Structure 1
Amino acid sequence: MITVIQSEQRVGDIVAQYTQASNVFKELGIDFCCGGKQTLSDAVRKRRLDEEEVLFQLNKVCTESRPAWPLDWKQDARKLTKLTEHIILQHHDFLRTELPVLRDFVNKVARVHGEVHPELKELQVLYHQLSAELLEHLNKEEQQLFPAIRKAEEEGSASALLAALQILDTLEAEHDEAGDLLSRMRETTKGYMLPEEACMTYTITFRKLEELESDMFTHVHLENNLLFPALAELR
């Protein structure tokens, strides 16, 4: 088998090049979005996994898959603008549609099943915090960061580039906070484990929360490991 993944590579860099690696990381519980800067070796050690087995799985999957984002994407003069447009269409629009719908589901299961399953009330609090912070975060990116990126690329504006760079630390910190809330939601629900008596609404709620988590992993990965580093290279 061809070896394309090494232990010293950063987790985020692996997923940036090989999309299928994200499936392996999700299954193993390895954070590749907010934790994308850690090396594979460090990530495996934290999860107490067998490094050789993880490398085998990754190399098997990655030699059979195509890159997640075109390897020559940086050759495009509007590369960052196009990436922000992709992020809005694929992830921001998804969140703006899904968050209000999920809010109603989470509220309902907490109201109906919260007495028997008190963890649902804790989930409700965590979800409301996550939803509020994410919507504020999306506005910050679309009203401040993304327009500055577009102006820097299209007009060569140094002031726009500086404005974009100045808020990167804040945005990354907000990504970390969202990642922490998602982790606490998963922990609270024991990995979204459904009780035997779970009704259809209960089941749909947990499945939709898992979809939200999966989308957020990809979303944050694109920003933390592709967009932000590429933006920093323009300085």
Structure 2
Amino acid sequence: MIKKVDLPTINEPTPDLIEHILVRYHKTLRSEFPELLTLAHRVETAYAHDPNAPHGLTQALDGFIADLEDHMCKEEAAVFAGLGDKNFGRAAMPISELLQDHTRQEATLNKIAAITHGLRLPSYACTSWTRLYAGIGKLIEDLDEHIFLENNVLFPRVQVNI
């Protein structure tokens, strides 16, 4: 569920909305990726023979992070840069592609949820495992808010101004 109080209002100027997305989501996500990968590898290695362990999570996260990084770079270069100088037409072409990226990212998050058994920890989970699942939970929540803002607020503005 998206916490409406954490989201900028629909009336916020587009440059402020873009800055919010860049700082709150892009920068934050990028800063959290390395720790998630380290924790995933640590847990998978330590619990290699445990059927409750999130087997395949490191690989899934690594692919997800690479895809998300590519997506954020496309947004920053093709959409956000074009909006900054009022060149709205520059952002027109990639919007459908970015929406497809969002759909694919949501599907990958569902795969990660399956690998982690819905982020349910076994009673014997260590601190690393607990931190890993808390971090993934935050990643999912942040990405849900991020996608909501772009799909429902920012991208419609771009399409209206083309």
Same fold (TM > 0.5): yes
Distance of 1:71 and 1:134 partners within structure 2: 25
Q: CA 1:227/1:206 → structure 2, altered by over 3 Å: closer, same or farther?
A: same
1:202 Cα deviation (Å)? 0.8
Q: Is contact 1:99-1:131 (8 Å) kept? A: yes
Alignment correspondent of 1:22: 2
| TM-score, normalised with respect to structure 1 | 0.64
**For 1:125, which of 55, 59, 81 is the aligned residue?**
59
Q: CA 1:123/1:146 → structure 2, altered by over 3 Å: closer, same or farther?
A: same
**For 1:108, which of 35, 42, 45 is the aligned residue?**
42
Query: Aligned partner of 2:8: which letter?
Result: W
Alignment correspondent of 2:120: 193
Query: Aligned partner of 1:109: which letter?
Result: V
Alignment correspondent of 1:139: 73
Question: What runs of 5+ residues in structure 1 fail to find an aligned partner?
Answer: 1-20, 24-64, 74-78, 153-159
**1:222 is the counterpart of 2:149:** yes
1:170 Cα deviation (Å)? 0.8
Q: Is contact 2:8-2:17 (8 Å) kept? A: no
Deviations 1:46-102 (A, max 9, x none): xxxxxxxxxxxxxxxxxxx869433533xxxxx222211110010001011001111
Q: Is contact 1:80-1:231 (8 Å) kept? A: no
What is the RMSD computed on CA atoms of the aligned residues?
1.9
Question: What runs of 5+ residues in structure 2 fail to find an aligned partner?
Answer: none
**1:207 is the counterpart of 2:134:** yes
Alignment of 1:67-86 (within 5 A): 68-73=7-12, 79-86=13-20
Q: Is contact 2:52-2:122 (8 Å) kept? A: no
Distance of 1:168 and 1:119 partners within structure 2: 38
Q: Is contact 1:114-1:120 (8 Å) kept? A: no
Query: Aligned partner of 1:180: which letter?
Result: A
Distance of 1:205 and 1:110 partners within structure 2: 11
Deviations 1:88-141 (A, max 9, x none): 010001011001111111111111112213752222221111111111111111
Q: CA 1:109/1:66 → structure 2, altered by over 3 Å: closer, same or farther?
A: closer
Distance of 2:7 and 2:138 partners within structure 1: 19
Q: Is contact 2:39-2:132 (8 Å) kept? A: yes
Query: Aligned partner of 2:123: which letter?
Result: E
Same amino acid, percent of matched pairs:
25
